[in-house]
Amino acid sequence: MRQLFMIVGFDLRQRIRDRSVLLFGLVVPLALMGVLNLLFSGLDESTELQPVTVAASVPADDPLASAITGALQGIGAMDVTVREVPADEVRDRTADGDATLGITVPEGFTPALTSGEQTRVQIVEGDGGGLESDVLISVTRGTVDRLTAGAEATAAGRAQGLPPDELARIAREAAAVGDRIALAEGRAADHQLTSRGTLVAGQAGLFLLFTVGFGVLGLLAEREQGTMARLQSMPMRPSTVVAAKALTGFLLGVFATSFLLTVGSMLFGVDFGDVFSVAVLVVGVVAAATSLTFVVARIARTAEQANVVQSIIAVVLGMAGGAFFPIPASGWAATIIDLNPIAAFIAGLGITSGGGDVADLGTPLLIMVGFGATCLLVSRLIPDRAAA
């Protein structure tokens, strides 16, 4: 054990002395976080619906027509002003920008609906209405659909010989549909990181794969420089050297990931939740990433080859795991992405950020353990090209 810690201590001092860890493990990811934050700034800002004006031509004393404008004024998520104008001015008001949306309800709207005759509500959308126009159009269409259904129910009741009082009640319920339609602002579901949180977590996970690679690079460098034979000739197990290199990469990964999450959370205003739960996630993802270096050490002959292979794997796993942006996928592709330790790390931080603790991290931790076990098994099955 003493020999193990001596080798680890020497490797750590060497990595800190050549500043490679400081550059690729800390400086570069922080700089990239800053650049990406500038590029995607505003993604976390809540979308606020702006006040809108609706130019409406509605027949006087028409209860079902008034229900349409009543539904628009009842939208709670934005301020809607309905201005009644003549029918021939609706399109002009909308085209001039005085109104976001124009609505024309024809004369005899209620009698037409209740008698089963065809009628049409015209909607004119102004330029640059955006999300507000979409909301207004959706509410208008929904209101008309429900009014139509109510009118059809009234017509059916009349055909069945219902008394006038019952028909009037059905008509009143249809006219009051606007009171039952409301739009309110909501919140995203828990256990989801904000875009800035995903940015910090993704970059920390991506560069973790580079940081832990310093261990395997040190192992191959020892072989190239001929010092591996001298180490193995010392009174210690040959596996001690490999374990020391892996432990070096693990410790560097834990430090760099913890540092990036801490600094990133302060710089970008992100809260990842319970510290202990986050620490468990960090240890899990670093262990999974470290296991991958055993595979790289078996398939690479030189430190240069290992650097290339490690970089390719890091970029592929990082991008697939959502280090830059979520990748939409379904079916088997989605399953493969979900088994990525970087994706599991981001998902786990989403759980802790939403108030979860270690007990809620079963799935992300299971993915990390499964990934690590698979990499260790593969490293035992494939031949060691560096030793050949």
Overall average pLDDT of the 123-136 stretch? 76
Handedness of CA 337, 340, 345, 348 (dihedral sign): positive
Determine the distance from the C-alpha atom of residue 309 to the mean position of all C-alpha atoms in its chain, rounded to a whole number.
28
Query: Is residue 184 over pLDDT 90?
Result: no
- pLDDT band, very low/low/confident/very high, at 333 (cuts 50, 70, 90): low
pLDDT the model gives residue 370: 93
CA-CA-CA-CA torsion sign (226, 227, 232, 233): positive
Q: Report the pLDDT averaged over residues 321-331.
A: 69
DSSP 289-311: HHHHHHHHHHH-SSHHHHHHHHH
- Helical packing angle, 195-211 and 341-353, nearest 10°: 140
Task: Give 381's contacts (C-beta < 8 A, 6+ positions apart).
Answer: none
Q: How far is residue 292's CA from residue 303's CA, in Å, rounded to a whole number?
A: 15
SS3 of residue 353 by DSSP:
helix
Q: Minimal CA–CA distance to 93: which of 52, 131, 62?
A: 52
What's the token pair of residue 243? 């374990």
Give pLDDT, residue 219: 66
pLDDT of residue 152: 66
What pLDDT does 180 receive? 46
128 SS3 class: coil
Name the E strands within the chain. 52-57, 80-84, 101-104, 122-125
Whether residue 295 is predicted with pLDDT greater than 80 in this model: the reply is: yes
Average pLDDT across the chain, whole number: 77
Whether 127 shows a pLDDT value over 80: the answer reads: no
Report pLDDT digits (tens) over 64-112: 788 888 888 777 667 888 888 888 888 888 888 888 888 898 888 878 7
| N-term to C-term CA, the chain | 29
- Residue 288 pLDDT level (bands cut at 50, 70, 90): very high
Give the CA-trace dihedral at 187, 190, 193, 194, to 10 degrees.
10
How deeply is 324 buried, as exposed, middle or buried, from its count of CB atoms within 10 A (0-12, 13-18, 19+)? Answer: middle
Residue 183, pLDDT > 50, answer no
Q: What is the mean pLDDT of residues 122-139?
A: 77
Structural domains of the chain sorted by starting position, each given as residue range(s) with its CATH number in brackets: 2-44+190-381 (no CATH), 52-180 (3.40.190)
Smallest CA-to-CA distance from 257 within 336, 346, 195, 368 is with 346
Given pLDDT bands bounded at 50, 70 and 90, which one contains residue 187?
very low
For the chain, percent of residues with pLDDT exceeding 90: 9
- Check residue 173 and give its pLDDT: 62
Q: What is the mean pLDDT of residues 269-274?
A: 87
pLDDT tens sequence across 6-40? 767 767 777 777 777 777 778 888 887 878 777 66
| Burial (CB count <10 Å: 0-12, 13-18, 19+), residue 370 | middle
Residues β-bridged to residue 104: 57, 122
Calculate the dihedral angle through the C-alpha atoms of 195, 200, 206, 212, rounding to the nearest 10 degrees: -160
Q: Do 212 and 301 form a contact (C-beta atoms < 8 A)?
A: no
Structure confidence at residue 91 (pLDDT): 87
Is pLDDT of 229 > 60?
no
- pLDDT classification of 282: cutoffs 50, 70, 90: very high
Output the CA torsion 45→191→253→32 (10° steps). Answer: -20
Interstrand relation of 101-104 and 122-125 (parallel, antiparallel or unpaired): antiparallel
Average of per-residue pLDDT across 237-266 = 83
Q: What is residue 178's predicted lDDT score, i.e. its pLDDT?
A: 45
Q: Above pLDDT 70, what percent of the chain?
A: 72
Please give the average per-residue pLDDT across 258-280, as a whole number.
89
* pTM of the shown model: 0.59
In 3D space, the residue among 214, 275, 302 whose CA is nearest the CA of residue 250 turns out to be 214
Residue 236: predicted pLDDT: 60
The model's confidence at residue 330, banded by pLDDT at 50, 70 and 90, is low
Going from the C-alpha of 234 to that of each of 6, 239, 240, 248, 387, the distances in angstroms are 13, 12, 11, 20, 19
At 275, is the pLDDT very low, low, confident or very high (cuts 50, 70, 90)?
Answer: very high
Rounded Cα–Cα distance for residues 154 and 163 (Å)? 11
Nearest to 367 by CA among 302, 284, 248, 283: 284
Residue 367 has pLDDT above 90, yes or no: yes
DSSP 8-state symbol, 98: S
302: Cα within 13 Å, side-chain hemisphere: 4
